[in-house]
Chain A
Amino acid sequence: MAEIHPTHVTSLLSPELILPSIAARSKTEVLATLAAHMGTARPHVDGRLLEDALHERERQSSTALENGVAIPHVRLAGIPGPLALLARSVDGIDCNAVDGHPTRLFLLLIAVAEQPGSHLRLLASAARMLGDASCRAGLLAAPSAEELLAVVRSHELRTQRRAA
C-alpha cells in the first residue's frame, strides 16, 4: 500500500474521529458537537476552548463552502500536532453557505498555533478532497465511519498518484 503524505487528511483521521450522523440542527450546535467530541477523543484538547475558538473564527468569516461542505478550522496553542474530525449530517444544516445549500459534510481541522502557515497545505488538501464530486458522493453514501475513512483514503491516494 502506498504511503499517505503526513499533511493529508487521512493521516489525521481514525474511526473514532469520524461521526457518520450528527443530530445537530444549527451551525452553533454543530460546532459544539465537533468541539465536544474532539475533547473526548483527544483529552489534551480543551473542548470548551475549542468551541470558543471555532465561534470566533466563524465570526470573522464563514467556513461553509458550496456543495454542502464546510471546513471549520482553528489554530490552538499547546497541542503536539494537527488534528482532524469528520462529521456528517444526514438532513443538512443551514450554515449560510455561498450557494445557499444546506451543509452535510463537516471537516474540522485544528492546527498548531506555534507553527503559523503549517496547516495551509492541509486546508488546501481538505478543500481539494471535498471539492471533488465523486468523493463527496462517496462520503454521503458511506454507511459507517470505517467506510467514510476508506473513501477519504482512496481519494487522497488517487490525488497523490496524479501529482506524482
Chain B
Amino acid sequence: MLVFISFWRAAAIVLCDMASTVYYIGGIVEQAIGKAAPWYIAGVMLFAYAVRGVYIESCAMFVRGGVYRVVKEAMGGTLAKLSVSALMFDYVLTGPISGVSAGQYIVGLANELLQQIGAQVAIPSAAGSAVIAVAITLYFWRQNILGIEESSDKAMKIMGVTTVMVVVMILWCGATLWTRGATLPPFALHFSDDSLGWLAGTSWGRQIGAIGIVVAFGHSILAMSGEESLAQVNRELAHPKVPNLVRAGLVIFLFTVLTTGLFSFFAVMIIPDDVRMASYSDNLVGGLAMYMIGPLSVRLALRAFVVVVGFLILAGAVNTAIVGSNGVLNRVAEDGVLPDWFRHPHRRYGTTYRIIDLVVGLQIFTIVASGGNVYALGEAYAFGVVWSFVFKSLSMVILRFKDRRPREWRVPLNLRIGRTELPLGLMLIFAILLVTALANLVTKRVATEWGAVFTVAFFAVFWLSERAHHHHGAVQHLEKFNVRYTPDLDPRAVGIRPGCIVVPVRDPGNLAHLDRALHDAEREDVDVVVPTVKVERDLVATGHNPNFTPDEQAVFTAVVDLAERHGKSVVPLVLTSNDAFFAIARTAQELAAREVVFGRSGSLAPDVQAESFAIRWGTVEPRGDRDMTVRIVSAREDVRFTL
C-alpha cells in the first residue's frame, strides 16, 4: 500500500534535523564569532522562514520539489547535478555531526557523574562520541531499511519528549534570569583566526562592519540545515499537500525559534563566560542545565533529562539525514543520473536499501575520519547547506520567468510592472544566500576544501553514471515495486476497509478517472484500490503468471505519481483472470466496495462498459441487496449508474 503522512509527522521528521542543531550550534558559532553568536543564530532562524517559502513554492510546483528537480527545470542537468552533489555533502555530514554531538552530551554527562562520585577516570570525549555516533547511525540504518512509516513514528515520539524538555528549559531559564537578573549578549563580533579563513591575514572582516556581519551570518547559517528535508517529505505528505506543507513550515519555524534561537541566548546569559566555551562548547545545553537555579542534584537530573532528549533528537537527525539522502538519490536515480541498480527495492521491506547502505557507509566513514570533533564537522557542514540553497533560490527566481503556470503558493513580495512581475521576495532571498555563500567560501577553509572535494567527487559519479546510462538508450522513469502473490484477496491482509472505491487501470496515458477518483476521495476517509487486470486467454485462468510486466510497472508508476500529487493512499493490485470485468466485479465484491470508477474505454461505449460490469456484478454478488455505483469517467464526462 502507498501511504501518506500528516503535517505533524512531516514537521517532526524535519524538526529532528533542524531543531537538533540547538545542541551544537551555540558552541560552534560562539567559538567562531564570540558572544554575539545568539543574535546571528536568531537572525538565521528568522531568515530560515523565508527560505522555507522557497521550498513551499517549489513543492507547490512539483511534488518532488527538491533541489535537483527545481535546478534541473530552471538551469539544466549539469547545474542540477552540481547542486545535488553539494546537498549530498550536507546530508552526509548531518548524520555524523548529530551523532557525534549526541555522543558528546552522553560522554559529558558520564564524566560529570564520574567526577561527582570522585572517580579518577574519564571517558575520552572524542573517541567515545565517535563510537556512540556509529552506533546511532547503525540503528537508524536498520530503521530505514524497515521503511519510512516506522521512522516517522519514531520522529513523532522524539519531538513529543523534546517539546516537554523545551517547555521545562524555557520556564527554568526564565526563572533563573528573573532571580539573577539578565544581560543580553553584546553585538560586537570577536572572530577567531580560524573563523576568518583566508581573510585572516587581512583586516577586512574585523574592520568593515558589513563584511563582518556577513561573515558572522555565514558561520551561523548551518542553523537552518534541514530545509531540504521539507521537500523530501512533501512526497509523503497527505492531502491537502500545499496547505499541509505551509502548516508544517509554521510548526517548524515556531519550534526552531523557541529552541535554537532562544536557547542560544539563554546559554550566553546564564553560563559564566569562563566555563562556557572551556567546558561546554560541545554540550552547551547540558552546561545550561548545570547553571540554573536549584540544588545540584536537581540540576544533575535536569542535565540527564537534557542529555536523554538530546540523544533522542540528535539520533532523530541522523534518521532524517538518511531519509533525506535516500529521497534525493532516489530522485536522481530515477533520472538515470545514478545507476538504476541502486533503486532495487529490498525483497522484504520494499525500501531502496542499496542507497541507504551507500549513505550510511559514507556517514560512518565521516564519523571515523572526524575523530569525533564536532567543531570540525560543523565548519565543513555549512558548505552543502548554503550552496544548495543558492542554487535552489536562483532556480526559483528563473522559474518565475520561465514557467508562468499559476502556483498554489508563492513567496510574497511580488512587484508587477506592466506585464512583468518581479519576484522581489525571491530575489532578496537569493541575494542574501549568495553573499553568505561567497563569504563562507573565503572564510570557512575546512568547508570549502572538503566541500569542494566531496561535491566534485559526487558530481563525477553522477556525470559518469548518466553517460553510461545514455549509452544504454533513453531513460524512462519506472518505479520499483515489490510484488506479493496471494491466491485470495483478504481485505484485512491488504488493510482495506469496507466501502472502498475500486478504480481499474490499464493505460498509463488514460488515468483521468483515477485523477477524478483521488480528487473526490481527498474529502473523505476512504480507501482507493487500483487494480489492473492481467487477462489470460486460456480456458481457465490459473492466476499463477508470476511476471510483473514492464507494462504493469509503467501503469503503476503513473498511479504512484498521481497518488503523490493528491497525497492520497492507494492500494495497487494486479489481478489475473480470463475476463477483466469479472475480475473487477469480484474484487469489488470481496472488498465490499461501494463504487467502481472506470476510465472511458476506447473500444466500448460507456453504457456497454456499465452493462458488462452489471452482468458480472450480478454473477458475483449473490444477494443482490448491496448498493453499487458504477462511474465511467473521462477528462470531459463523468457518467454515473447505480446497481
> A residues near B, CB below 8 A?
57, 60-61, 63, 65, 71, 73, 75, 98-100, 116-117, 119-121, 123-129, 131-132, 159, 162-164
Contact = CB atoms under 8 A, between A and B. Distances in A.
Contacts of A162: 622-623
Interface of B: 539-540, 578-579, 603-605, 607-608, 610-612, 614-619, 621-625, 630, 640-643
Given A98-B578, A124-B614, A163 B625 contact: yes
Contact of A60 (B605, B621, B623, B642): B605
Given A117-B641, A121-B643, A162-B623, A127 B608 contact: no
A128 B622 contact: yes
Nearest to A74: B611
Closest 4 CB pairs of A and B: A127-B618, A124-B618, A163-B625, A128-B618
Contacts of A99: 539-540
Nearest to B537: A98
A153 to B, nearest CB: 16
Contact of A120 (B540, B621, B641): B641
A65 B624 contact: no
A131 B619 contact: yes
A99 B605 CA distance: 25
10 contacts: A60-B604, A60-B608, A116-B607, A120-B630, A123-B618, A124-B615, A124-B643, A127-B616, A127-B618, A127-B619
Given A61-B608, A120-B641, A71 B615 contact: yes
B610 A124 contact: no
Contacts of B579: 98
B608 A128 contact: no
B195 to A, nearest CB: 76
B639 to A, nearest CB: 8
A123 B614 contact: yes
A124 B623 contact: no
B605 A120 contact: no
Nearest to A120: B614
B578 A127 contact: no
Nearest to A75: B607
Given A127-B615, A127-B616, A131-B619, A120 B610 contact: yes
Given A65-B619, A120-B630, A127-B616, A73 B539 contact: no
B618 A125 contact: yes
B642 A117 contact: yes
B539 A124 contact: no
Contacts of B607: 75, 116-117
Contacts of A126: 615, 618
Given A117-B610, A131-B618, 6 more contacts: A71-B615, A99-B540, A123-B611, A123-B614, A127-B619, A163-B624
Nearest to B540: A99
A124 B604 contact: no
Contacts of A71: 615
